[in-house]
Amino acid sequence: MPSALALGSNLSSPAGSPRQTLDAAVRRLEDLGHVTAVSRYYETAPVGYANQPTFLNAAAILETTLAPQALLTHLLAIEREFGRDRSHGIANGPRTLDLDILLYDDLVLGTPTLQLPHPRMHQRSFVLTPLVEIAPHLVHPVFNKSMGQLLEDLTKA
């Protein structure tokens, strides 16, 4: 199934700088399926907790046979490999690596551990901008709008 993923980093990890971390994370995603597209890396200001370094954000499309919860489990394991511990730290604070499932085909899912589509993706230009670069015509299964339309709506607001 095709899934859209968000990637972010603003701290060095065992792989190196945030850019090197994202490069290495994309290579690790290949262990979970086939990466069919990766956006450029976008420098973005932090949201929420402002006293931290600028982020590098990107998006990727991953074709995978993993079920959504299994995919999430693997993504969290990759984050840990790169030095992220979600049990500690500040909400929206600095991180070595952030991997989020934005969309999993057209699945709508709400469990205690996984919400699909990502519940805040339509409010975040740092998520939509890289996703629009690689998949502007993907449709949000709840709002029934393309990623391009969601980004346009956000920039008008």
The catalytic residue among 19, 23, 100, 106 is 100
Let me know if 16 is exposed, middle or buried by CB neighbors in 10 A (0-12, 13-18, 19+).
exposed
Place of tokens 């065992």: 14
The catalytic residue among 31, 98, 105, 106 is 98
- Annotation marks residue 31 as catalytic: no
* Helical spans, DSSP H, in 30-140: 68-81, 125-134
- Annotation marks residue 28 as catalytic: no
Query: What is the sign of the dihedral through the CA atoms of 92, 74, 3 and 55?
Result: positive
The catalytic residue among 28, 31, 40, 95 is 95
Lookup: tokens for 94: 């600095």
- Annotation marks residue 40 as catalytic: no
- Active-site residues, by number, are 84, 95, 98, 100
